Amino acid sequence: MAKTVQEILAFCQENGVRMIDFKTVDLQGRWHHITIPAERFCEDTLRHGIGFDGSNFGYASVEKSDMVFVPDPDSACLDPFTAVPTLSMTGDVQVIDLPENRRFDQYARSVTQRAEEYMRESGIADKMVVGPEFEFYVFDRASFETAPNHASFQVDTAQAEWNTGDPAGKGYQMGRHDGYHAALPQDITFDLRNEICLRMADWGVAVKYHHHEVGGPGQLEVEVEPESLTEMADKTMVAKYLIKNCAARAGKTATFMPKPIYGEAGSGMHVHIWLWKDGEPLFYNPNGYSSLSDTALYFIGGLLKHAASLCAITNPSTNSFKRLVPGFEAPVTIGYATANRSSIIRIPAYAKTPAQKRFELRNPDATCNPYYAYAAILMAGLDGIQNRIDPHASGWGPYDFNLFQLSEEDKKRIQALPKSLGEALDALEQDHAYLTAGGVFPEQLIQNWIKLKRAEDEEMARIPSPAEFKRYYTL
């Protein structure tokens, strides 16, 4: 949109904007915001930023917590959900220094920016492009409680199979696993998805398509056009914000939890990946496996070599590993293949032209911090290219068969993904040099992340669940 203070203020005047809202992302990947009257926006805002307490975002200890947020005017867009006309911006975080403040190297957006710089410095490519698929559930209601003497959750939607007996129902409920590309009248969220996609377009997030996903009780998907690393991380935050708020405005609730319903399809965030240099795609070779270049195959090799440790960043919740189980088109093993949705790396068979040629990483989910996740994916791939890691020679495929139906012999031969957050964190502890290369992920950030997620994993493991009462109470 605009690049200068004058242009921002002119836009505010023309559109009746009274407030400017600044959005920052915390360590876990949640947006926070602070708002100023539009007339207070000035050159000093861009130069010196707005002070905040970094300890509340998980980035700093309380005794060294002063930081400043510096908005990026290019991210400015009207927020469609505010009663008072409000302009929204994201931006960067700096730490206090003399004579000038400096970029905070642990801030999520700083990591993606440094990853892109490192890629260009390597000479391998000048642009990485990623295209995520956003899967999520929309419910009519959601409630949950964890207390010392009580634990429960409940979700509900009129379209769910469990409501077929509702006397007030219309008989158009969806069966379990029966939602893929369902049409009206069963697809009761069609208008909501249209609204979401129009709001995305208004905010500069181009949509490829949307549809109902496999999960009968309201699982949806919106796939967006690919963008470069930092830009897509910004737009991932925007997309989640718009989806949640559009659902709330429609009297519903949206969740990106990977596995909100036992026995139903889980929600992932598959990431399509391209590399470009000097305006040319780097992943196409008509004579290579599935028309992939050596560069593409080495990138895949890096992803597969580091797949276990990557999971600690791309699948950073205990709920993530309730999705990564056999039978639900979510990967459970480490390997690659063409058109195989049971594989962690799927090469789309329909992508035939040089510009289209790509592959898809299928394990990530939207509980990740997208800045860290996209940067980690790039760093794993660059490591694969730099070290010429051949995925076939390394024994990772191609596996052109159903990886959910392995023989006992194949199960011993084919490496499995981590089965828990704890296992993924163990892998990250042992394997993160590829992330710290070039100073992209500071070592302190890795250690802070492991400490945070260890505590989270241990806490969740200690809480009795209703399912445990059912299984063990009478023993």
- Distance, in Å, from the CA atom of 366 to the CA atom of 108, rounded to the nearest integer, reads 15
Q: How many CB atoms lie within 10 A of CB 327?
A: 12
Q: How many CB atoms lie within 10 A of CB 112?
A: 27
- Distance, in Å, from the CA atom of 472 to the CA atom of 461, rounded to the nearest integer, reads 16
Q: Which domains does the chain have, with CATH numbers?
A: 5-104 (3.10.20.70), 121-472 (3.30.590.10)
- Report pTM: 0.95
Query: Helices 370-386 and 108-122: crossing angle, nearest 10°?
Result: 20
Cβ atoms of 159 and 188 within 8 Å: the answer is yes
C-alpha distance from residue 456 to each of 71, 83, 180 (Å): 31, 36, 34
Token pair 């992340």 in the structure block, residue: 449
pLDDT (tens digit, 0 to 9) for every residue of the chain, 475 residues total? 457 899 999 999 999 999 999 999 999 999 999 999 999 999 998 888 888 777 777 776 555 677 889 999 999 999 999 999 999 999 999 887 777 788 889 999 999 999 999 999 999 999 999 999 999 999 999 999 999 999 999 999 999 999 998 888 888 888 888 888 989 999 999 999 999 999 999 999 999 999 999 999 999 999 999 999 999 999 999 999 999 999 999 999 999 999 999 999 999 999 999 999 999 999 999 999 999 999 999 999 999 999 999 999 999 999 999 999 988 889 999 999 998 888 899 999 888 899 999 999 999 999 999 999 999 999 999 999 999 999 999 999 898 877 777 777 777 788 899 999 999 999 999 999 999 999 999 999 999 999 999 999 999 999 999 999 999 999 9
C-alpha distance from residue 459 to each of 143, 211, 300, 308, 464 (Å): 21, 36, 34, 22, 11
Within 8 A by CB and 6+ apart from 247, the residues are: 138, 192, 253, 254
Q: At 349, which amino acid appears? A: A
Within 8 A by CB and 6+ apart from 276, the residues are: 125, 126, 127, 128, 129, 282
My answer on whether omega of the bond before 167 falls inside 30° of 0, hence cis, is no
- Distance, in Å, from the CA atom of 1 to the CA atom of 296, rounded to the nearest integer, reads 34
Q: Which helix (H) or strand (E) holds 410?
A: helix 408-413
Within 8 A by CB and 6+ apart from 231, the residues are: none
Looking at residue 1, its pLDDT comes to 44
Active site residues: 53, 133, 135, 213, 221, 270, 341, 360, 362
